[in-house]
Amino acid sequence: MTNVSIIVLDFGSQYTQLIARRLREDKIYCEILPYHTKVEDIQAKNPKGIILSGGPSSVYNEDAYEVDKDVYKMGIPVLGICYGMQRIAVDFGGSVIRSDHHEYGKAELDIVGYPDNISALFKDCDNHRIVWMSHSDRVETLPDGFKVIATSENSPYAAIANDEKRVYALQFHPEVQHSEEGYLMLRNFAKNICGVTEKWKMEHFLKQQIESIRERVGDAKVLCGLSGGVDSSVVAAMLYEAIGDQLIPVFVDNGLLRKGEREQVEEVFKINLKAPLITVDAVDNFLGKLAGVSDPEQKRKIIGHTFIEEFEKEAKKHDGIKFLAQGTLYPDVIESISVNGPSEVIKSHHNVGGLPDWMDFELIEPLRELFKDEVRKIGFELGLPEGMINRHPFPGPGLAIRIMGDVNVPDLDLLREADVILLDELKASGYYAKTWQAFAVLLNVKSVGVMGDNRTYDNTVCVRVVEAVDGMTATFAHLPHDLLERISRRIINEVDGINRVVYDISSKPPATIEWE
């Protein structure tokens, strides 16, 4: 078993997973548990430190989320972030009030005592760096024994500490990319304050997962759905490494794929995984059920249920199948359901939330606790080709959620042609490898145009290209104008039915990466 160095107690922040990710980047293994986890269950994991996450609630709400107070008596360091700071302030006898000035966004951090007499939390950090605030409540009075270790223009208590009790708290979010040197603060807490020395490596995780899969599966068979993306490919490779021919890989063509994708998946799988792939043609079934459906959540649910139906039909053709494997990742989970805490649902994912009652399978989700970049590292460990591992993410619902409105064959064909031009140009320019995700969205908004001497009234395509590390946050890619112009010109000239191309310059948050 992996030694758990840091436990993160989740109070519902959308950024909770990023805390774990930042620590894992430093090879510090941590686990995320619900905020209400009993202290004896935490002690069983023998952590060296605890982090209380942020959250959307207020400490003075009637149903405010509370931590087991015995956590503070475990004798290990505690770090509170945002709501976690306010929780610490109240739990130790201080007070929190609703702030007259809500602080959201960037703030400049002033480290008390800089440079010679600073808190261990800020070791090697520069002064006056930018951090990310996101709060409406603020600490009004400090508990006894606490001192201020950093301030900002609107937060006199931007960071506080009780060195004797080894309890620390930050009003800002060090885990997000917007917080400069926030990773250093988390590293300082884990290594300098908690004394973490163990290094967690992906090869250790891979070995443990393979052993766990073998033990759980026994002599049963596992049905694994392939999409051709990195997540499902890594899952299939892990399973094949663990159980060999007990794996039954199935690729379902749902009619919502990019141009030539079915052929690419079959070729790559045959060459690299060297296991027999079953391809199911379910185009008519999916498109029939999606006909006339325009609501994005309904689209996702229909696609998810239809995938399960197709897998069940295929499973009946084989004896001994007990498990269904999926490439569920951490970001899928946090955006879909509150798994570890009271997180807000952003949008459902077709592969999150378990199986229908009528389906007699057990789920295997070996990547459920990983971020995309960690999955790619696993892929390299398994020997998968770089072209497969570094492929941009592609959503399970496919092009259905990149068409605004109902899904039909003409619109799918239109979008495929625009999408392949976008990807070709990005690869030719070198920007495909520099960006996290790129795709076209068919807006189904028509406008007047002029082509030659003729008036047109055709569709609009939106180009979306983002830069990200883990998909939890993202910024639009600042592509060169000549590249954008070339993409636009080719789409309009080569795709009959499109006369306008726009570029999405929104970031996540507040937008999501996908439009639906």
Q: Give residue-wise pLDDT tens across range 143-195.
A: 999 999 999 988 899 999 999 999 999 999 999 888 999 999 999 999 999 99
Residue 452 known to bind ligand: no
Catalytic residue, chosen from 82, 194, 224, 462, is 82
Structure confidence at residue 432 (pLDDT): 96
**Is the pLDDT reported for residue 353 higher than 50?**
no
**Number of neighbours of residue 436 by Cβ within 10 angstroms:** 19
pLDDT band at 346 (very low <50, low <70, confident <90, very high): very low
Catalytic residue, chosen from 125, 135, 175, 310, is 175
Structure confidence at residue 450 (pLDDT): 79
Per the annotation, the verdict on 194 as an active-site residue is no
Q: Give the CA angle between residues 119, 123, 128 to the nearest 5°.
A: 85
Structure confidence at residue 453 (pLDDT): 65
In sequence order, the β-bridge partners of residue 376 are: none
Residue 231 known to bind ligand: yes
Q: Write 347-351 long-range contacts (CB < 8 A, 24+).
A: 347/296, 347/297, 347/300, 347/512, 347/516, 348/297, 348/300, 348/301, 348/304, 349/300, 349/396, 350/300, 350/301, 350/303, 350/304, 350/307, 350/396, 350/397, 351/304, 351/326, 351/327, 351/396
Distance between CA atoms of residues 489 and 161, nearest Å: 57
Q: Name the pairing type of β-strands 147-152 and 110-111.
A: antiparallel
Residue 137 known to bind ligand: no
Structure confidence at residue 198 (pLDDT): 81
Per the annotation, the verdict on 135 as an active-site residue is no
Per the annotation, the verdict on 175 as an active-site residue is yes
Distance between CA atoms of residues 460 and 388, nearest Å: 31
Average pLDDT across the chain, whole number: 88
Full-model pTM: 0.69
Structure confidence at residue 208 (pLDDT): 86
pLDDT band at 352 (very low <50, low <70, confident <90, very high): very low
**Is the pLDDT reported for residue 119 higher than 60?**
yes
Higher-confidence residue of 273 and 463: namely 463
Residue 228 known to bind ligand: yes
Share of the chain above pLDDT 70, in %: 91
- Average pLDDT on 53-75 reads 90
Domains of the chain: 6-193 (3.40.50.880), 202-389 (3.40.50.620), 408-503 (3.30.300.10)
- Average pLDDT on 309-330 reads 87
Structure confidence at residue 60 (pLDDT): 85
Structure confidence at residue 315 (pLDDT): 85
Q: Which of 16-20, 136-140, 399-403 has the lowest mean pLDDT?
A: 136-140
Residue 233 known to bind ligand: yes
Catalytic residue, chosen from 30, 125, 173, 261, is 173
Classified as helix, coil or strand, 132 is strand
